Amino acid sequence: MRKLGLLVAALAASLFLSSCSLIPGLGQQSGVQACAAVSDSMQKAVSEFTDAMTTAANDPEAASKAVDKMLTELTAARAKVTNADVGAALDKATAAMKTLSDELKKAGNDPEKLDGDKLNAAAEEIQVALTEFGTACTKF
C-alpha cells in the first residue's frame, strides 16, 4: 500500500510539473511560466533590436537583416507560449518588428530613404508590446 501511495504521489507531481492536468484549469501556463519559457529568446531579441536600431541610420539593409533574424527567433519562441496575455504581447511585438523590417527594406542600403516617422512609430509599438510582455510575465 505504501508503494502505491508513493507511485500516485510521483505521478501527481509529474503531471503538475509538466503542466498537464486532468483537472481543468490546473494545467494552464501562467505568465511567469510562459516568460520563463522564452526568456533567453526575449533577452537576445532586445539586445539585437538595440543593435539594429543603432545600425539603421548608417546601414538600413544590415538592420533589416538583424530584425528579420529577431522575427525568426521570436516566432520560434512563440510556439512555447500557451498563455493568452504573453502570447498576445509577443504577437504584437512581432507584428511591429515586421513593420520595422519592411520600412528598413524600403530604404535598401540608402540611409537617406529612411522614413524616420515610420521607424519611430514601429519602434514605439515594439516598446509598448515589450511593456505589455513584462506586465503579462508577472501574472500567475
Please check whether residue 12 lies inside any domain of the structure.
no
Q: Residue 24: pLDDT above 90?
A: no
Please check whether residue 21 lies inside any domain of the structure.
no
Please check whether residue 113 lies inside any domain of the structure.
yes
Q: What is the pLDDT of residues 74-101, one digit of tens each?
A: 899 999 999 999 999 999 989 998 999 9
Say what the pLDDT of residue 98 is.
Answer: 92
Distance of alpha carbon 92 from its chain centroid, rounded? 9
Q: Which residue has the higher pLDDT, 1 or 118?
A: 118
- Please give the residue range of the domain that contains residue 43: 29-137
- The letter for the amino acid at 55 is T
- Is residue 129 within 8 A of residue 100, CB to CB? The reply is no
Please check whether residue 62 lies inside any domain of the structure.
yes
- The letter for the amino acid at 60 is P
Q: What is the pLDDT of residues 48-80, one digit of tens each?
A: 878 877 888 888 888 888 889 888 988 999 999
Please check whether residue 52 lies inside any domain of the structure.
yes
Say what the pLDDT of residue 99 is.
Answer: 92
